Amino acid sequence: MHEHIWATSSRISVSGPSGWAPVERLEVAHASGRAVVRVERFPALPDADIDALADMHADRLAGDGSTISSAAPHEVLGSADGRRRTITWSDDSGRLEAVMDYALDRGRLVVVTSVTPVDDPALAEAAATVAASVRVTDPVHMPEEELPLRPDRVDLGDLARAWLVGTSVESRPEHVITTEESFGAAKHFGVAMLPGADTARWDQLDLAQRDLAAAVAWRSLEARGASTEGDLGEALRLATSHDLIVLVTERTDAESRAQWFAARPDRMVRLRPAGPGLISLSTHPSADLADIVLADVSRGSVVTASAVHRSEGHVVGEETSWTGGDAANDVRDALGRLITHTHVGGAP
């Protein structure tokens, strides 16, 4: 058994013209240079045959004198419909073996390949643990119907005008929950995740581990009043069912900080990181949002705010930015335009 002491994720955006297609590739190499684990994703047609795709991929790798096994059923990325095959060959460094796992996942062929020396079983075992840790996610492509946004039955214009007028923000209690508790709450309320949830650790768990962790975490939240009409229960309900989500990111030379506001016209929950694997939640009147943001940012910092809500049946988004210390009314108006697309104060 090998202990994992680091984790990494890769999320790259790219676009291109017709006739091009993205091929994603990530490699993890052993310090000795004698072993590598490679993860690849290729576009696949909806009716793609995994055996045919595995054959084409393996044929490109096979060289003279190599031995290729036939593809055999194998669980890959949690799917029982995966395939595994091996290739062995010799080069100047000795005899090598490549173990290749194949799975079809959301319109992509995913290939996880481990290449190790045949005469080093310890290195092969370590490579296998690295390959087993691979998780594939597409957080930015979540289907619109799975977002925790309610149907667009409210007019957010009144809320934008309330931000321009301003309020007197009162101190509110904060509830700190773990990543596991955030996903437990998300599963209980039927959404994918809470705003601000740290997915890095969660992505390291397989599906069975996630189900167990979510179930245990929800019991913990229930013991703290998550299923009642109290403040924590309200915070979680707002975080998992709202009309508007606003993300505010503040950047200085030293750090970057983000906070989320999940709002209905009258009430909202503010979500902020509270340490590794922890989220702080506090409930407020939705009209407080602009004043909370103005009070929280530092002079001279660069602030970006983006908002997502439903409009005429579609999920729409806007983004704005300013510098900490800019005129308060300009910031209030900029925030209002995120949800109204016009100058809230009425000026052209």
Domains of the chain, by residue range, sit at: 24-140, 144-340
DSSP letter for 79, please: B
pTM: 0.61
Q: Looking at residue 144, what is its pLDDT?
A: 57
What b/e readout covers 211-249, taking b as 16+ CB neighbours within 10 angstroms? eebbeebbeebeeeebeeeebbbbbbbbbbebbbbbbbb
Task: Determine the average pLDDT of the residues in 234-263.
Answer: 91
Q: Is the model's pLDDT at 45 over the cut of 90? A: no
Whole-number pLDDT of residue 347: 39
Q: How far apart are CA 132 and CA 83, in angstroms?
A: 14
Residue 274 phi/psi, 5° resolution? -125, 20
With pLDDT > 70 as the criterion, what percentage of the chain qualifies? 92
Find all residues with CB under 8 Å of 71, minimum gap 6, and list them. 51, 54, 55, 58, 83, 84, 85, 102
From the number of C-beta atoms within 10 Å of its C-beta (0-12, 13-18, 19+), residue 297 rates as: buried
Confidence of residue 344 (pLDDT cuts 50, 70, 90): low
The pLDDT of residue 329 is 92
**234: nearest Cα among 190, 275, 189, 192:** 189
- Beta-carbon neighbour count of residue 191 at 10 Å? 17
In this predicted structure, the answer to whether residue 140 has a pLDDT above a threshold of 50 is no
105 strand-pairing partners: 108
Q: Half-sphere exposure of residue 61, counting CA atoms within 13 Å on the CB side?
A: 24
What would the mean pLDDT of 20-43 be, rounded to a whole number? 92
Taking all residues of the chain, what is their mean pLDDT, rounded to a whole number?
87
Query: What is the pLDDT confidence band of residue 279, given thresholds at 50, 70 and 90?
Result: very high
Residue 337: is its pLDDT beyond 60? yes
Reported confidence tier of residue 138, pLDDT bands at 50, 70, 90: low
Q: Which amino acid is at 37?
A: V
**Closest C-alpha to 321, from 280, 346, 293:** 293
pLDDT interval class at 80 (50, 70, 90): confident
In angstroms, the CA 335 to CA 337 distance is: 5
Which residues have C-beta within 8 Å of that of residue 292, sequence separation ≥ 6?
169, 261, 270, 284
Percent of the chain with pLDDT over 90: 53
Q: What is the pLDDT averaged over residues 79-105?
A: 92
Q: For domain 24-140, give the CATH number.
A: 3.40.1000.10
Q: Containing H/E element for 152?
A: none
More confident residue, 14 or 291: 291
Identify the pLDDT of residue 267.
96
pLDDT at residue number 343: 57
pLDDT of residue 346: 46
Residue 20 φ/ψ, nearest 5 degrees: -110, 155
The H-assigned helical ranges of 14-118 are 50-61
For the segment 107-133, the average pLDDT, to the nearest whole number, is 93
